[in-house]
Amino acid sequence: MSTSITLKQINKLAIPALIAGVSEPILSLTDAAIIGNMEANATTSLAAVGIVTTFLSMLIWVLGQTRSAISSIISQYLGAGNIEAVKNLPGQAIFVITTLSLLIIAVTYPLASHIFKLYNADGAILNYSVDYYRIRVFGFPFTLFTIAVFGTFRGLQNTYFPMLIAISGASANIIFDVILVYGIEGFIPAMHIEGAAYASVFAQLIMALLSAYYLLKKTDIPLIVKFPFNPEMKRFTLMILNLFVRTIALNIALYFGTSFATKYGGSYIAAYTIAINLWFLGAFLIDGYASAGNILSGKLLGAKDYKSLIALSNKLIKYGIIVGLIIGTIGAVIYYPLGRLFSNDQAVLSKFYEIFWIILAMQPLCALAFIFDGVFKGLGEMKYLRNVLLFSTLVVFIPIIFLTDQLDYKLYGIFIAFTFWMVARGLPLIIKFRKTFIPLAQNT
C-alpha cells in the first residue's frame, strides 16, 4: 500500500541532517575565517589551508562513503521489517574503515611534502601545508568513526542525534580555534595555523565520543565487533568499491581545480579557497534534502512502495530548487560582507568577488544533482553513480578546465568547468530514475 510522504516528514529528516551535514565544512571554514584574518602571513596560511582541506576532503569522501552504504542497507532492511538481520553490520564496518584510516595516516604523514607539491605548492605555502596536515590528519579516524555512526542513524530514520553531535563539534571547533590560533596572553601562546589544526582534531574527537555515546545509549546497535562477518558485508564492500571509484573521479575534478588555482598565484589560491569552501557549505546545506532522499528512498524500496518513491522524487525536485534559490539569494545579499569575513587582503577579495556569482548561480543545479545522488545511494545504485561521475569528470570537466586554462580564464574557467560538471552529474540521474520507477509505480 502506498504511503504518502509529506513535507513535514521530509523536513523532519532533512533539517537535522542539514545542520549535521555542515559540520565538516564549518571546521574548514572556521579555520579559513580565523586564519585569513591573522595579522601575519594570512594569505600564505589561507592558501595552505585550502590545499590541505582539498586533500583531506578527498580522503574523507573516499572512505566516508561508509555512511551511504550503511544507511542504504539498514534503511532497506528497516522497510522490509527485518532490521535484526543487520544489527552487527555497523560495528564491523566501523572496524574496517577506522583500520584503513590508520594505514592512510602511516603512509601520508611522511609523504606530506611530496603530496602537496603535486598541488603546485612550494616555499612557505608548502611548509605551512605540511605543518597543518601533520596535525590535522590525526582527526581523520575520529571523523570516519562519526560518519559511520551517522550512517547508522540515517538508516534508522533518525537525523536528530547526528545534528546534536554536529552542533557540539562545530561549537567546540570555533572555541578552540579562537583560543589556540590567537592564544590567551600569559596562559596559552598563539599557535597560528598549527592552532587551527589542533582545534579541528579536538572537535573531531569530541564528535566521535558523542557518536559512540548516543549509538550505545539510544539504539540497540552494538559497537563490539563480532565475527563472522554479516552476509551483507559483501554488498557493503561492493558499494564501497563503486563509491571509492566514484569519489576518486570526484576528487580528480577537485584536484585540477586546486592545482590550477595554485599555479595562478597566491592570491588566486586564497580566493579559490574561500570560494570552494563556501561551495562545499552550500553543498552540505542542500545535502539535508539529499539525506532525506537517501533515507526515505531506501526504506520505500525495501517496502516496494514505488508510487511513494515517485511522489518523493517529485517533492525533492521542487524543494531542492527552492533551497538552491534561497542559498543563492542569501549569498547575493551578503556578497561583499561575506568575502571580508574571510580575508582583508584586497587582491584576494577582488578575485573572489569576480567569480563568487558563478557559485551562487550554480546552487539550483547543485541541488538537483546532490538530491538525486542521495536518492540513488539510498536505492543502492552505486554502480550507476560511479559511471555518471566518471563520465562527467573525464569527458566533461577535464576538457573544459584545460580549454579555459588555455584561454587564460583563470578562476572563471575553473568554476565554468564545475558548472558543466554539475549538469552532467544531475541530468542522467533524473532521467534514469524516472525511466526505472514510473513503470513500476504504474504496475502496482
* Cα–Cα distance for residue pair 235/60, rounded to 1 Å: 21
- What one-character DSSP code corresponds to residue 184? B
| pLDDT tens digits, 185-197 | 778 887 888 888 9
C-alpha cell at 255: 584536484
Would you say the C-alpha torsion 297, 300, 306, 309 has a positive or negative sign? negative
Asked whether the bond before 228 is cis by omega within 30 degrees of 0, the reply is: yes
C-alpha cell at 357: 556569482
Residue 266, pLDDT score: 87
* Cα–Cα distance for residue pair 113/116, rounded to 1 Å: 5
What lies within 8 Å, CB to CB, of 320 at 6+ separation is 286, 289, 364, 367, 368, 370, 371
Q: Which residue type occupies 130?
A: V
Residue 2, pLDDT score: 47
Q: 75, 206, 62, 236: which is closest to 146 by C-alpha?
A: 206
Q: Which residue type occupies 183?
A: G
Residue 23, pLDDT score: 65
Mean pLDDT of successive 10-residue stretches along the chain, which has 444 residues: 69 84 67 70 80 83 82 92 92 91 94 91 90 94 93 92 92 90 82 88 95 94 88 91 87 90 90 87 79 89 91 88 90 92 88 94 90 91 95 97 96 96 94 93 82
Question: Please, are residues 272 and 348 in contact by the beta-carbon 8 Å criterion?
Answer: no
| pLDDT tens digits, 201-228 | 999 999 999 999 999 999 999 998 888 8
**Percent of residues in the chain assigned helix, strand, coil, to nearest 5:** 85, 0, 15
* Cα–Cα distance for residue pair 150/109, rounded to 1 Å: 27
What lies within 8 Å, CB to CB, of 255 at 6+ separation is 54, 58, 118, 119
What lies within 8 Å, CB to CB, of 162 at 6+ separation is 16, 17, 20, 149, 150, 153, 154
Residue 162, pLDDT score: 92
Across 114-151, b (16+ Cβ under 10 Å) vs e yields ebbeebbbeeebbebbbbbbbbbbbbbbbbbbbbbbbb
Residue 218, pLDDT score: 93
Q: Which helix (H) or strand (E) holds 32?
A: helix 23-36
